[in-house]
Structure 1
């Protein structure tokens, strides 16, 4: 989808909102929330949507009324309503801007990022920088490949072939699982996810991303680049990275770590049953595990195994990186991820965006 098409969609979206003011105020509230400065009421987690669930917050939850008799049930109902709200919003967005997509025959390529756990009938689409490493660990434990998430190194979770992708099945196997399994998607605020990917792949030593992405990025976008930079690909700046991202003739292809979720996981085509958010990851992941009947001693891990000493990418850190861009570059980046912001009800990260 080109930036021109996205801008046309945005214009039509605002026209549709105006036309619906009198006809469907309840639906309007859900759709307009995606462009407002704050999430909808049902979709607002117990902490600020831009802050992680900290250990202190979990302690406060234990002392809160929700932990009293009946409080857990109330919390489960709140999370269930939140899921209903997210599914409804996604359905409305898809119906307006990708009508008829679900009628298409699903190809193997379109489910290439979806992992299968047959024992508990789960389909999980990996969204890098949104908790996918720990989700793979959970799937391995559910499938019997490991007994504890703590015992699974990062490389084993990603490269040991303990998990099967949905694309590896024939068409009948794919269709049957899509129709009967719980389809899971976890997303993250798009700009935070982008900055997290940049910090991980370009600010730390990396034997793949520096030569494969760094060298062509520096060669294309840096004037008077040194021989060392051109040889190693190390030292890509955030602005150079964004220039590459927005270039329709980018010198090297797209990568799953910063590809929009709307393209990576095909949400309009696959119609996920569960849409979780990284901002409230542990609580929502554990709610899902409980819902599918996972072992009671299995909870979603909270550790960070890559660059563990580095501070997690937060809203504040994201703001610092985007301060390196001018307003036009920020707007183009927002346009690039616009469908993700719209589908998953994330507010505009900067007030001057439209």
Structure 2
């Protein structure tokens, strides 16, 4: 039996229409899958530790709002750099995001923002040690490499799953006190402490940024760690560096993902309270002692801040304000009252 021309046309049109619909659906699914990779993690109610996360204090709502607003105003939220699939390839982020599979939790640690305190705490939580008392900083670092894992140690697909599904925290600090703490801890003269940084930086900073008379200039053969650098000289060095800074004084938003959807944003300034609440993310029943490093620089105290920052010129302070502004906006900080200047 013959087939009419009209029927053939109708059949072809029907097949073409169906094919178009299928391709459209497939394209939409493919786009959705691509978008899903770039979206924040699953909602809080779907993750573990709901009993704590749904009852975060009001300060957390404010900190998270400040972070989101800062990301938006700085244009970070729209940049590919801060999407999940870029986070899992950023070397700095991969080194500083610590992973606890035991508690399905991650915490991004920023040097000079209680990072060593948290490294000690994590080893206790993971059951690697019972106490960090009596352990020197280098011993802690060595033990952490053995017992703790960072995001960079996982394969990319696993990293993505961790970012989406694990609970998370970050600790941040006022950029001005953190910068001073980095100087005092790493470059200022401390007996038997952190000679590596003095070896790397002090001689160059002293010779390039110091304003010394010929009589004050030491023998050039003197080892770098013997050079004593002032805070003013260090700030000039810090302001002059165009490439990546050392992680101890690199801006915080360059150390940890600034626009990640953290469940808890802790502040050094309220460390005791924030520590207790963050430990609950790992395990609400754990009774982990408040861990504090034995060699604090006390760089958040008004008197200490004033003593160092009063040596800086108004121009240095203005340049610092500009350089530190991103961290200030993201994490809700302002210039400490003790070092504010009327001329600004």
TM (norm. structure 2) is: 0.72
Deviation at residue 112 of structure 1 after TM alignment: 2.2
Counterpart residue number, 2:3: none
- Check the 8 A contact 2:85/2:160 in 1, yes or no: no
Matched, 1:332 2:322: no
Q: 1:249 to 1:283 in 2, by over 3 A?
A: closer
Counterpart residue number, 2:238: 245
Deviation at residue 187 of structure 1 after TM alignment: 0.9
Deviation at residue 104 of structure 1 after TM alignment: 5.6
Counterpart residue number, 1:348: 335
Deviation at residue 115 of structure 1 after TM alignment: 1.0
Alpha-carbon distance between aligned partners in 2 of 1:143 and 1:121, rounded to the nearest angstrom: 12
* Match of residue 168, structure 1, among 153, 166, 171: 153
- Check the 8 A contact 1:166/1:174 in 2, yes or no: yes
Q: 1:191 to 1:312 in 2, by over 3 A?
A: closer
Alpha-carbon distance between aligned partners in 2 of 1:256 and 1:321, rounded to the nearest angstrom: 21
SS at match of 1:304: coil
SS at match of 1:267: coil
Alpha-carbon distance between aligned partners in 2 of 1:312 and 1:91, rounded to the nearest angstrom: 28
- Deviations for 1:50-101, whole angstroms, at most 9, x for unmatched residues? xxxxxxxxxxxxxxxxxxxxxxxxxx96x62111111111112112321323
Superposition map of 1:239-278 within 5 A: 239-248=232-241, 254-268=245-259, 270-278=260-268
**Aligned positions, number:** 272
Counterpart residue number, 2:78: 100
Alpha-carbon distance between aligned partners in 2 of 1:257 and 1:92, rounded to the nearest angstrom: 26
- Check the 8 A contact 1:215/1:229 in 2, yes or no: no
Q: Structure 1: which 4+ aligned runs deviate by more than 6 Å?
A: none
Matched, 1:185 2:170: yes
SS at match of 2:57: helix
Deviation at residue 235 of structure 1 after TM alignment: 0.4
Counterpart residue number, 1:112: 95
Deviation at residue 316 of structure 1 after TM alignment: 2.2
Counterpart residue number, 1:298: 288
Deviation at residue 347 of structure 1 after TM alignment: 1.9
Deviation at residue 228 of structure 1 after TM alignment: 5.9
Counterpart residue number, 1:5: none
Alpha-carbon distance between aligned partners in 1 of 2:186 and 2:239, rounded to the nearest angstrom: 18
Deviation at residue 232 of structure 1 after TM alignment: 2.7
Q: 1:219 to 1:230 in 2, by over 3 A?
A: farther
* The 10-residue stretch of structure 1 (145-154 or 165-174) with the greater mean CA deviation from structure 2: 145-154
Counterpart residue number, 1:159: 142
Q: CA RMSD in A?
A: 2.4
- Check the 8 A contact 2:124/2:131 in 1, yes or no: yes
SS at match of 1:144: coil
Matched, 1:279 2:256: no
Deviation at residue 336 of structure 1 after TM alignment: 1.2
* The 10-residue stretch of structure 1 (273-282 or 198-207) with the greater mean CA deviation from structure 2: 198-207
Alpha-carbon distance between aligned partners in 2 of 1:247 and 1:312, rounded to the nearest angstrom: 23
* Match of residue 227, structure 1, among 212, 219, 223: 219
- Deviations for 1:159-199, whole angstroms, at most 9, x for unmatched residues? 23121110111111110110111221111111111111111
SS at match of 2:85: coil
Alpha-carbon distance between aligned partners in 2 of 1:285 and 1:104, rounded to the nearest angstrom: 26
Greater radius of gyration (CA): 2
Superposition map of 1:119-134 within 5 A: 119-134=102-117
* Match of residue 91, structure 1, among 68, 74, 85: 68
Alpha-carbon distance between aligned partners in 1 of 2:253 and 2:68, rounded to the nearest angstrom: 13
- Check the 8 A contact 1:114/1:125 in 2, yes or no: yes
- Check the 8 A contact 1:221/1:240 in 2, yes or no: yes
5+ residue gaps, structure 2, are 1-53
5+ residue gaps, structure 1, are 1-75
